[in-house]
Amino acid sequence: MAKNILITGGAGFIGSHVVRRFVKGYAGYNIYNLDVLTYAGNLENLKDVEGYSNYTFIKGDIVDVDFVQSLFAKYDFDGVIHLAAESHVDRSISDPLAFVRTNIIGTVNLLNSARDAWKGAYSKKRFYHISTDEVYGTLGSKGLFTERTAYDPNSPYSASKASSDHFVRAYGETYGLPYVISNCSNNYGPNHFPEKLIPLFINNIINNIPLPVYGDGKYTRDWLFVEDHAVAIDLIFHKGKGQETYNIGGFNEWQNIDLVKLLCKLMDQKLGRAKGTSERLISFVKDRPGHDLRYAIDASKINKELGWEPSVTFEEGLEYTIDWYLTNGAWLEHVTSGEYREYYKKMYAE
Ligand code: NAD
Ligand code: TYD
């Protein structure tokens, strides 16, 4: 019997890589991609899987109670991989309620439907919640986030994700719902919406627009290539221990300013521009409020238990990503027209 898997947020950045991996890699699964298509959701990300007979796109909102219940009744899902979310920290600062709505209420709505539809069949089901390392708050110059680090979120985004993680765990404790959670570090790669650091700066360099580095640029993130995250999600979904959490990271810490300088160097080479051209676009701007100093993940649990590790170095992944953006100008043009221009004006106005 084919397995029916619901993937939420599959038209977004990470979701599209997960959908592609599951549709192409598991012919025996029916993959249902539920996405409401916000500004961040884009079916162009999935053009290559559209025609697969084991793939179905469903446009809809995870917050809609009747709709989500009807989906569980109709498709008898064996598993859920839940990625749908509002995902950008800066947007969460200007509109926290949108994050409460989707990330918390949407997750609880999915949990309710899974709990009710799966009653009596829990042993064959799995609810996999995709989360972020940002729930752990910020590190000083030393230390790593482990699965036992206490939650200490600082932005409305991370607070909403932390809340959703707690609800998933609570449904496991209270109702016995079979779940697994993973908390991953910053992803980068193809199809990344150009509001996050790496794709925003690639787009700005292409267009000779200033590169707005927040504060002194000394903030540190741990970067992971998105396809390596998709591999980790595949492994955890199939082999991860139930009622547990896995941290996923790139073993790859960079201060923003060093990352931006590397990006500038690679972009000058790719665009045939004189050395130092892109670096001259760097502009230090007002800091993000509540800006977390440093994220770094201890990914030894997934490494030891499931044998996972990143497959590419940062330089390889970054070069691949830059090449993708340079050869997918139409994608970039489509996502940066319309609403994006308004967002950019509001966000980066003096
Ligand atoms: P994204 O913003 O690119 O995509 C989110 C997707 O969810 C979009 O396709 C959007 O249309 C959809 N969506 C939003 N609200 C919805 C709703 N109410 N109903 C149905 N669909 C809705 O996000 P992403 O970067 O791909 O992140 C995916 C998940 O991974 C999120 O849960 C995020 O918290 C988590 N995560 C992201 C990163 C990262 O670096 N991007 C790192 C760790 C964890
Ligand atoms: P971002 O890609 O938004 O991811 P997150 O906030 O979830 O880590 O930002 C990564 C880092 O880059 C973070 O320290 C904020 C910084 N940043 C800038 O300096 N300028 C920008 O324009 C953006 C979007 C981010």
Ligand 2 binding pocket includes 212 (Cβ within 6 Å):
yes
> Is 200 close to ligand 2, i.e. is its CB under 6 Å away?
yes
Ligand 2 lined by 126 (C-beta under 6 Å): no
- List the catalytic residue out of 136, 157, 188, 246: 157
- Domain membership of residue 84 as a residue range: 3-188+223-248
SS3 84: coil
The reply to whether 166 falls in a domain is yes
pTM over cut 0.85 = yes
Number of alpha carbons in the 13 Å side-chain half-sphere of residue 26: 20
Q: Which of 13, 16, 42, 103 to mutate to test the pocket of ligand 1 (most atoms within 8 A of CB)?
A: 13
Nearest protein CA to atom 10 of ligand 2, as residue: 197
Check residue 108 and give its pLDDT.
99
pLDDT at 321: 98
Pair 188, 198: CB distance under 8 Å: yes
Whether 44 is covered by a domain: the verdict is: yes
Whether 227 maps to a domain, the answer reads yes
Alpha-carbon distance 17 to 192, whole Å? 11
- pLDDT of amino acid 1: 62
Residue 284 lies in a domain: no
CATH number of the structural domain spanning residue 68: 3.40.50.720
Kindly state whether residue 135 falls inside one of the protein's structural domains.
yes
Q: What is the mean pLDDT of each run of 10 residues along the chain (350 residues)?
A: 91 98 97 97 96 98 98 98 98 98 99 97 97 98 97 98 99 98 98 98 98 98 98 98 98 97 98 98 98 98 98 97 97 92 86
Q: In what order do the strands lie in the sheet with 29-35?
A: 55-59, 29-35, 3-8, 79-82, 126-132, 179-184, 244-248
Q: Given this model, what pLDDT does residue 338 score? A: 85
State if residue 85 touches ligand 1 by the CB under 6 angstroms criterion.
Answer: yes
Structural domain contains residue 233: yes
Does residue 174 sit within a domain?
yes
pLDDT the model gives residue 250: 96
Domain count within the chain:
1
What's residue 349's pLDDT? Answer: 80
Of all protein residues, whose CA lies closest to atom 17 belonging to ligand 2?
Answer: 197
Q: Is residue 17 part of a domain?
A: yes
